[in-house]
Amino acid sequence: MEFLNPFFWLGATALTAPILLHLVRRHRRERVPFPSLMFLHQIPTKELRRKKLTHLFLLFLRCLGLLLIVAAFSRPMVSGTWFGNLAMGTPRSLVILIDSSMSMSREPVWQKASEVAEQRVRSLTGGDEGLIVRFGETVEVLSSWEARPERLLSVLHSRSGASFEGTSYGEALRVASEQFKEQQANSRKEIVLITDLQLSGLPESQKWRLPDDVILTIESVGEESANLFVEEVRLERFSFGEQHPYPIVTLLKSTPPQRLQGELQLFLEGQLIDRKGFELNQDGTGQVTFRPFALEAGPHTGRIVAQVEDLLPADNIFFFVVERRESQPITVVSSRPSSMVYLKSALSSGQNLPFRVEVVEPPGPARLIPEARPVLILDNLARPPRPDALKAYVTNGGGLLVSLGNSVRPEAYNRLAAELFPAELDQRQFIRSRDRNFTSITDVDWQHPIFSVFQESHRAGLVSVQFYSYWKLRPQQGSTVLARFDDSNPALLERTLGRGRVLVFASSLDRVWTDFPLRSAYVPFWHRLAGYAGGWSASAAAMTVGEILGSDQYGAKSERGSTSSWNIVDPNGQRVIGLDQETPDFVELKFPGHYEIRKNKKTDWVAVNSDPRESDLQQVPVDKLLARFRAERPATSSSPQATRVSQEEHRQPLWWPLLLAAALVLGIESLVANHRRRVIE
Amino acid sequence: MSKSPSLRFIDPLVLSRIRGLQLIAKTVVEGFVTGLHRSPYHGFSLNFSEYRQYAPGDDIRSIDWKVFGRTDRFYVKKYEGDTNCQMYLLLDNSASMGYASGPISKIDYARYLAASLSYLAVRQSDAAGLAAFDSGVFNRIPPRAQYRHFLTILHRLEQLELGSRNNIGEALEELARLIRKRSIVVLISDFYHEVEELSKTLRFFHHRGNDVILFHLLDPVELKMPLADSCTLQDMETSDYLSYVPDHSRAGYLELLQQHIGDLQRGCRDARIDYTLLSTDEPLDRALYSYLSARQRRY
HEC letters along A575-625: EEECCCCCCCCEEECCCCEEEEEEECCEEEEEEEECCHHHHCCCECCHHHH
Rg (CA), chain A: 38
Are the beta carbons of A43 and B249 separated by less than 8 Å?
A: yes
Which residue from B234, B243, B260 is facing A34, i.e. has the nearest CB? B234
Q: What is the least distance, in Å, from the CA of B43 to any CA of chain A?
A: 41
Using a CB-CB cut-off of 8 Å, the residues of chain B touching A40 are 233, 242, 244, 249, 252-253
Q: Place A680 in a pLDDT band, splitting at 50, 70 and 90.
A: low
Burial of B148 (0-12, 13-18, 19+ CB in 10 A): exposed
Beta strand pairing call for A2-3 and A76-77: antiparallel
Which residue from A30, A36, A39 is facing B231, i.e. has the nearest CB? A30
Specify which of A51-60, A565-574, B247-256 reaches the highest per-range mean pLDDT. Answer: B247-256
* Whether the model pTM is above 0.90: no
pLDDT of residue A635: 43
Are the beta carbons of A34 and B253 separated by less than 8 Å?
A: no
CATH 3.40.630.30 fits A328-534, yes or no: no
Q: Place A53 in a pLDDT band, splitting at 50, 70 and 90.
A: low
Using a CB-CB cut-off of 8 Å, the residues of chain B touching A32 are 227, 231-234, 244
Q: What architecture is domain A543-609?
A: Sandwich (2.60)
Contact residues for A111 (Cβ-Cβ < 8 A; gap 6+): none
Q: What is the least distance, in Å, from the CA of B61 to any CA of chain A?
A: 49
Distance (Å) of CA B4 to CA A419, B38, B277: 151, 18, 21
Using a CB-CB cut-off of 8 Å, the residues of chain B touching A47 are 245, 248
Contact residues for A680 (Cβ-Cβ < 8 A; gap 6+): none
Blockwise average pLDDT, block size 10, chain B, 299 residues: 40 61 65 49 45 77 82 74 70 89 88 84 81 79 83 86 77 78 85 85 79 88 84 86 82 90 88 84 76 64
pLDDT of residue A649: 56
In percent, the amount of chain A with pLDDT more than 70 equals: 87
Matching fold, domains A90-224+617-651 and A328-534: yes
Strand partners, A290: A248
Q: What is the least distance, in Å, from the CA of A17 to any CA of chain B?
A: 23
- Chain A interface includes B92 (CB < 8 A): no
Q: Which long-range contacts (CB under 8 A, 24 or more apart) does A81-87 make?
A: A81/A1, A81/A125, A83/A1, A84/A1, A84/A125, A85/A125, A85/A126, A85/A127, A87/A653, A87/A654
Please say whether the beta carbons of A567 and A501 come within 8 A.
no
Q: Which residue of A has its CA nearest to B252?
A: A40
Using a CB-CB cut-off of 8 Å, the residues of chain A touching B99 are 33-35
Which residue from B231, B240, B257 is facing A39, i.e. has the nearest CB? B257
Averaged pLDDT of chain A: 83
Please say whether the beta carbons of A205 and A661 come within 8 A.
no
Q: Place A636 in a pLDDT band, splitting at 50, 70 and 90.
A: very low
User: How many residues in total does chain A contain?
Assistant: 681
- Helix, strand, or coil here: A468? coil
Please say whether the beta carbons of B240 and B96 come within 8 A.
no
Interface of B with A in 163-192 (CB under 8 A): 190, 192
pLDDT of residue A81: 44
Size of interface A-B (CB pairs under 8 A): 79
Q: Which chain A residues touch B if contact means CB-CB below 8 Å? A: 29-43, 47-48, 51
- Tell me how far apart the alpha carbons of residues A332 and B13 are, in angstroms, rounded to a whole number: 136
pLDDT of residue A402: 93
Q: Place A178 in a pLDDT band, splitting at 50, 70 and 90.
A: confident
Most A CBs within 10 Å: which of B248, B261, B264, B280, as the mutation test of the A interface? Answer: B248
- Tell me how far apart the alpha carbons of residues B293 and B299 are, in angstroms, rounded to a whole number: 10
- Helix, strand, or coil here: B91? strand
Most A CBs within 10 Å: which of B92, B101, B234, as the mutation test of the A interface? Answer: B234
Query: Does residue A629 register a pLDDT over 50?
Result: yes
- Chain A interface includes B261 (CB < 8 A): no
In percent, the amount of chain A with pLDDT more than 90 equals: 21
Domain ranges of chain B: 5-40+84-298, 48-79
Are the beta carbons of A42 and B243 separated by less than 8 Å?
A: yes
pLDDT of residue A11: 78
Query: Residue ranges of the alpha helices (H) in A261-348?
Result: 341-348
Contact residues for A664 (Cβ-Cβ < 8 A; gap 6+): none
Are the beta carbons of A31 and B233 separated by less than 8 Å?
A: yes
pLDDT of residue A266: 93
- Chain A interface includes B233 (CB < 8 A): yes
Average pLDDT over residues A526-531: 89
pLDDT of residue A590: 86
Please say whether the beta carbons of A138 and A546 come within 8 A.
yes
Burial of A570 (0-12, 13-18, 19+ CB in 10 A): middle
Using a CB-CB cut-off of 8 Å, the residues of chain A touching B245 are 43, 47-48, 51
Using a CB-CB cut-off of 8 Å, the residues of chain A touching B162 are none
Amino acid at A387: P
Amino acid at B210: N
Domain ranges of chain A: 2-77+656-680, 90-224+617-651, 227-325, 328-534, 543-609
Q: What architecture is domain A227-325?
A: Sandwich (2.60)
Using a CB-CB cut-off of 8 Å, the residues of chain A touching B234 are 31-34
Say how many C-beta atoms besides its own lie within 10 A of residue A31's C-beta.
12
CATH topology of domain A90-224+617-651: Rossmann fold (3.40.50)
Query: Does residue A78 register a pLDDT over 70?
Result: no
pLDDT of residue B1: 38
Please say whether the beta carbons of A238 and A539 come within 8 A.
yes
pLDDT digits (tens, 9 = 90+) for A403-448: 998 889 999 899 888 888 999 999 888 887 767 788 999 889 888 8
Q: What is the least distance, in Å, from the CA of A39 to any CA of chain B?
A: 5
Q: What is the least distance, in Å, from the CA of A29 to any CA of chain B?
A: 6
pLDDT digits (tens, 9 = 90+) for A315-343: 999 999 998 888 888 999 988 888 888 98
Query: Residue ranges of the alpha helices (H) in B103-245?
Result: 106-123, 147-159, 168-178, 195-207, 220-224
- Chain A interface includes B230 (CB < 8 A): yes
Are the beta carbons of B236 and A34 separated by less than 8 Å?
A: yes
Closest CA to A555 of A600, A594, A522, A500: A600
pLDDT of residue B42: 36
- Tell me how far apart the alpha carbons of residues A427 and A406 are, in angstroms, rounded to a whole number: 11
- Helix, strand, or coil here: A415? coil
pLDDT of residue A552: 65
- Chain A interface includes B231 (CB < 8 A): yes
pLDDT digits (tens, 9 = 90+) for A286-309: 999 999 888 888 889 999 999 988
Are the beta carbons of A36 and B245 separated by less than 8 Å?
A: no
Q: Which residue of B has its CA nearest to A35?
A: B96
Q: What is the least distance, in Å, from the CA of B95 to any CA of chain A?
A: 7
Amino acid at A285: T
Query: Does residue A579 register a pLDDT over 60?
Result: no
Q: Place A252 in a pLDDT band, splitting at 50, 70 and 90.
A: very high
Please say whether the beta carbons of A599 and A569 come within 8 A.
no
pLDDT of residue A502: 93
Strand partners, A514: A467
Query: Does residue A553 register a pLDDT over 50?
Result: yes
pLDDT of residue A133: 92
Strand partners, A299: A323
Enter the DSSP assignment of A417.
T
pLDDT of residue A634: 47
Are the beta carbons of A32 and B232 separated by less than 8 Å?
A: yes
pLDDT of residue A494: 93
Which residue from A30, A40, A51 is facing B242, i.e. has the nearest CB? A40
pLDDT of residue A29: 62
pLDDT of residue B37: 39
Which top CATH class is B5-40+84-298?
A: alpha beta
- Tell me how far apart the alpha carbons of residues B250 and A25 are, in angstroms, rounded to a whole number: 23
Q: What is the least distance, in Å, from the CA of A24 to any CA of chain B?
A: 13
pLDDT of residue A214: 86
Residue A667's Cα: distance from chain center in Å? 59
Are the beta carbons of B190 and A36 separated by less than 8 Å?
A: yes
Most A CBs within 10 Å: which of B134, B232, B240, B264, as the mutation test of the A interface? Answer: B232
pLDDT of residue B39: 37
Q: Which residue of A has its CA nearest to B107?
A: A35
Enter the DSSP assignment of A50.
T
Which residue from A33, A36, A48 is facing B192, i.e. has the nearest CB? A36
Q: Which residue of B has its CA nearest to A44?
A: B243
Are the beta carbons of A37 and B232 separated by less than 8 Å?
A: no
